[in-house]
Structure 1
């Protein structure tokens, strides 16, 4: 493609140089006016020549290939966007739960797993929560209630593990 553009520009430049040389050598008067008209037509021909040589089947193939490549790139970006969005939602949800736990006086670590929504184009939603720490029954019950109320994650998808947090 670059080679085609380069050869087109070289052709236009050569045609312009030849037209300029002929115009400077032409005698004044009618001959010079006819020379200018002819030179303009030669330059016009040099400019539109690649369009006349263009094979429409090749052009259609190039456009189709470009469209397919663009669709693949868009699909890849959609997958990457969903992956990044899932990571952000997991991190932000974990930070929110950790903030609620700290408000209850709980020292713990929180891991959140997000899942894609059921509809096409849905965003990832928090699906499962794992809380690691030494929680009393009352703290566990209250944190479970808040997670259910604020994030709509049912108790069945909330796991609590005992571990001393340093």
Structure 2
């Protein structure tokens, strides 16, 4: 980049020196006016030459490459956010169902995975709260029926114990 800038400044400076030298050597009158016009055009050409040499296809390709490289990171962040939202909403649903059944739960943690088509879904659940074996079985059946989370992937904890 610095090399290109140096070449451009050198070209503009050389053009300015040639125009000034030609202007000082020209006779007055119409010839001088035509010489100044030609010198101005030469100086203008030296100034805009880098703009005319820009490879728009390469510039567009590099911009596109930057956009494409940023897409997977954005998709991954969006997928993580979707998994988090689905986990929170599923946990809130389970807490509501437990309340409807008269079961006291302190907290529900839901873990999500991603299907082959890229859609997140709940795969396992940890329920915290003091529940009897009957309440656990009742809630477990409800979770399996409503959310398709099998009993094997449901964990119940009561004061550090797993059931």
Q: What TM-score do the two structures reach when normalised by structure 2?
A: 0.64
RMSD: 4.1
Matched, 1:137 2:133: yes
Gaps of 5+ in 2: 1-46
Mean Cα deviation higher: 99-108 or 142-151:
99-108
Alpha-carbon distance between aligned partners in 2 of 1:131 and 1:48, rounded to the nearest angstrom:
70
Q: Which residue of the partner structure matches residue 157 of structure 1?
A: 153
Q: Deviations over 1:18-37 (max 9, x none)?
A: xxxxxxxxxxxxxxxxxxxx
Q: 1:43-122 to 2 correspondence within 5 Å?
A: 50-51=51-52, 54=54, 56=55, 59-60=57-58, 62-103=59-100, 104-119=102-117, 122=118
How many residues are matched? 156
Going from structure 1 to structure 2, the CA distance change for 1:142 and 1:63 (only over 3 Å counts) comes to: same
Alpha-carbon distance between aligned partners in 1 of 2:98 and 2:159, rounded to the nearest angstrom:
15
Q: Secondary structure at the match of 1:130?
A: strand
Gaps of 5+ in 1: 1-45
Alpha-carbon distance between aligned partners in 2 of 1:138 and 1:96, rounded to the nearest angstrom:
20
